[in-house]
Amino acid sequence: MKVWRIAIAAVACLGPALQYWLMTHDQTLATGAIKTVRYFSYFTNLSNLLAAAALVAPLIASGDTSLGRFAAWAERAGPRVAIATYLTITALVYHLILASEWSPKGLDLVADTILHTVTPLAYLIDLAARGGEGEARWIAAAKALPFPALFAAWTELHGALSGWYPYPFMNAAKHGYPAVMLNILAMSAAFAGVALILTALSRVRARLALVRPAPISA
């Protein structure tokens, strides 16, 4: 299990790191600062960075330090459900809506595959295999929603000021705010639905673990 945890943590770190390198070394005229802001303006990158931090911290943290407290938080059932929700939506939106819009090659394809497929799937497998500390409460589903809501608010504010939007369905300049608000509401419902499903599955897993019979000793 320790080897598995190290492996998925390494992969989860590779995706965002490779994507940042690709974005900051492209051939556009945008400055490094603008490219960095745009990098952190993709929900894909944010969800993968959060997953990477949550997977790495428990492996290296010790004691009552800031990193140790973050590691303890990252191992709790509720936060693990929230991170799994973000990664699931990342994967679904990409494969159902965005994948047909471009055909990445080379390192772009590698980063694309890690961010949108490998890390989300690996994290869900890890959640199913290890669960989380304690039992995920139903309120965990509601607690998962502020982060994507803040992301939506940032996207529209940044887009209004810069004219740049990370995702076409959030482009208010092209589609207008009423249409974009409907898209955001639909996405919010998707986040809530996935969070509720994962919370339910996490609760079932925790209860099954409690009733699992102890192994018979020789």
Q: What is the pLDDT of residues 60-98, one digit of tens each?
A: 987 778 889 999 999 999 999 999 999 999 999 999 999
Residue 113, C-beta contacts closer than 8 angstroms, at least 6 positions apart: none
Report the distance separating Cα 195 and Cα 185, nearest Å.
Answer: 15
pLDDT of residue 140: 85
pLDDT of residue 212: 61
pLDDT of residue 218: 44
Instruction: Tally the residues of the chain.
Output: 218
Beta-bridge mates of residue 194: none
pLDDT of residue 157: 97
pLDDT of residue 64: 76
Q: Where are the alpha helices (DSSP H) in the chain?
A: 2-24, 32-39, 43-60, 66-75, 77-93, 106-113, 119-130, 139-143, 146-162, 172-175, 177-211
**Cα dist from 43 to 39, 81, 129, 165, whole Å:** 9, 17, 26, 12
pLDDT of residue 18: 97
The residue ranges of every structural domain in the chain are: 2-211
**Cα dist from 76 to 73, 100, 118, 136, whole Å:** 5, 36, 22, 8
**pTM higher than 0.85, yes or no?**
yes
Run means of pLDDT, 10 residues per run, the chain, 218 residues? 92 97 83 92 98 95 85 94 97 95 92 98 95 87 94 97 95 96 96 96 85 55
In terms of Cβ atoms closer than 10 Å to its own Cβ (0-12, 13-18, 19+), residue 5 is: middle
